[in-house]
Amino acid sequence: MRQASVERNTGETSIKISLDLDGTGKYDISTGIGFLDHMLEQLSRHSLLDLTVRAEGDLHIDFHHTTEDTGIAIGEAVSQALGNRAGITRFGSAIIPMDETLSRVSLDLSNRPYLIWKVDFTKPKLGDMDTELFKEWFQAFAQSAGMTLHVENLYGDNNHHIVESCFKALARSLREAITIDLRKSDAVPSTKGVLGGSL
């Protein structure tokens, strides 16, 4: 059972996550940030992860801590559910269109976290959410999940479409990477025999 539950409690946020890598895309998400909820719903639906998120944070200050800590907690849950990562496909990539927008995500569940972020916005906010916080979420998620993650918006005009296509591309890439390779379901997908480390 590739499932995990994570609780993260700090002076800034209180977060509970439950996750099933082999789900059907069911979600129940409440962060107090409407647009972030919408993006996490997309992540769940298109990756087929079952995802429950309950987050309470210092939204009276801004959305930064809740956004970042939610990324950390979901990433930790993904990493825990993967265990030693034996049998996974490991790599995933997707190019996702959304109207005038096209975005690409490639990832490696290498247990060596790294983020390349090539996404620009023309507005400082989407609704009440600062657009700069999307990079913070992807960075936190990649770090905690042990993922090398490349996110590029190839082109687009609408900032909502740009963000949403990035989350959907992440979802489809993750769905591919976590899939069990039936030809090597008992083996860690690395010549080293373990994922992680400096090489």
Mean pLDDT of the 62-70 span: 97
Give the integer Cα–Cα distance in Å for 133 and 114: 17
Which one has a higher pLDDT value, 64 or 1?
64
pLDDT of residue 154: 98
pLDDT of residue 1: 86
Residue 190 pLDDT greater than 60, yes or no? no
Predicted TM-score of the model (pTM): 0.93
Residue 199 pLDDT greater than 50, yes or no? no
Residues contacting residue 33 through CB under 8 Å, at least 6 positions apart: 59, 63, 66, 67, 128, 129
pLDDT of residue 184: 72
Give the integer Cα–Cα distance in Å for 1 and 111: 20
Structural domains in the chain plus CATH codes: 3-184 (3.30.230.40)
User: Three-class SS of residue 114?
Assistant: strand
Average model confidence (pLDDT) for the chain? 94
Instruction: For residue 161, count other CB atoms closer than 10 A to its CB.
Output: 18
53-69 residues labelled b (16+ CB within 10 A) or e (exposed): bbbebebeeebbbbbbb
